[in-house]
Amino acid sequence: MSNWTTVTEFLLLGFSDTRELQILHFVIFLISYLAALVGNLLVITVLTTDHHLHSPMYWFLANLSILDLGSISVTVPKSMANSLLNTRTISHAGCVAQVFLVFLFCTADLAFLTIMAYDRYVAICKPLHYEIIMNRRACIQMAAGAWAAGVMYSALHTGNTFSLPFCHSNIINQFFCEVPQLLKLSCFDEYRRELAALAFSVFLGLVCFVFIVVSYVQIFAAVWSIPSEQGRQKAFSTCIPHLIVVSLYVSTGSFAYTKPVSDSPSPLDLLAAVLYCVVPPLMNPVIYSMRNREIQAALKQLVIRSKNNMSIILS
């Protein structure tokens, strides 16, 4: 009892104690963050302003870009600020906010990736029933369900984690407040309750992944029956990038939340966190959106309209 203390702040993992390497980390994360910011904002702008792209697939993609913006904004700016200011601290309230928002965005992200796989399955395997199944009301309900699932899971894990007293230390061996790292600091064995909740969440994530894989097996079987070579290429160009994103996201996230937590800073833990927190928001606009010809055409039209408007203003 005498060793218990009220934790008012935590110490996050620094990428290095060398000032030059801290600045290098800041620059790399800044470039990555700005690239993700610009890419996802462009996708959102194009999808909301071009009425030709107001279809279920692009509606879900716009939501995915919003989630990507949120997920990378929760973790990366704080890590950048710590490197720039040569500090490691994050307040207790800031840590609670990070855990809540990371779970919200990551859970909803996986839900939307699953919905998008179902959307592609219906579009390719049941094209005659697509408009009936993926009607406006159904799409809104699916999107609302994905966001609601994110909020509920986030509240569950945040409540479970911060209801525990922390007494071992306040040092988190990660560049943001990650739940497995926080559980290591707990005084009681009650943390096993949250471990069970995490294990169940990983199980649900794997169920979503299996659903996505089964959907794509049926999609690829249907694609091979398309007589047109151009039609097959269009279907593959839409589906394969999505499958790559899902595989990277699920594999790295599951690894980070199921492997035993190291007692000392682990480069492997750090790499896994970067792969599921930083890489997907950065790469999604590139491998999932920018390879889409319809989005490319809409983006060109947006640039042309912007140039014309600028010319009118300047004249």
Q: Which of 129-138, 165-174, 285-294 has the lowest mean pLDDT?
A: 285-294
**Residue whose entry in the numeric block shows the structure tokens 């930083």:** 278
**3-class SS shares of the chain: helix, strand, coil, % to 5:** 80, 5, 20
CA nearest to 71, candidates 249, 204, 240: 249
53-65 pLDDT tens trace: 788 888 998 999 9
Residue 246 has pLDDT above 90, yes or no: no
Q: Please indicate, yes or no, if residue 2 is contained in any of the structural domains.
A: no
Most confident of 122-136, 175-189, 234-248: 122-136
Residue 21 lies in a domain: yes
Tell me the two tokens of residue 60: 């879900």
- Domain contains 4: no
pLDDT at 314: 62
pLDDT exceeds cutoff 80 at 70: yes
Can you say whether the dihedral through the CA atoms of 145, 148, 152, 158 is positive or negative? positive
220 assigned to some structural domain: yes
Decide if 292 is inside a domain: yes
Q: Based on the structure, what is the number of domains in the chain?
A: 1
Which has more confidence, 47 or 198?
Answer: 47
Query: Mean pLDDT throughout 59-80?
Result: 92
Q: 139-154 pLDDT, tens per residue?
A: 999 999 999 999 998 9
Residue 90 phi/psi, 5-degree rounding, is -145, 135
Per-residue pLDDT, 194: 67
- CATH number of residue 246's parent domain: 1.20.1070.10
Which amino acid, 81? Answer: A
DSSP structural state of residue 287: I
The mean pLDDT of 15-19, rounded to a whole number, is 80
pLDDT at 232: 67
Percent of the chain with pLDDT over 90: 26
The answer to whether 110 and 250 are in contact (CB under 8 A) is yes
Residue entry with tokens 């790295």 = 252
Q: Is 149 inside a domain boundary?
A: yes
Task: Strands of 33-149 (E only): list them.
Answer: 89-91
Query: What proportion of the chain, given as a percentage, has pLDDT over 70?
Result: 85
- Domain span at residue 208? 17-314
**pLDDT at 306 exceeding the cut of 90:** no
Question: Does any domain span residue 9?
Answer: no
Asked whether the predicted pLDDT for residue 311 surpasses 70, the reply is no
Q: Do the domain assignments include residue 172?
A: yes
pLDDT in tens, 263-277: 666 777 788 888 888
Instruction: Name the nearest CA neighbour of 82 among 164, 145, 176.
Output: 176
Rounded to the nearest 5 degrees, what angle is found at the Cα of 205, between the Cα atoms of 12 and 170? 15
Residue 2 has a pLDDT of 44
CA distances from 117 to 22, 102, 151 (A): 40, 23, 22
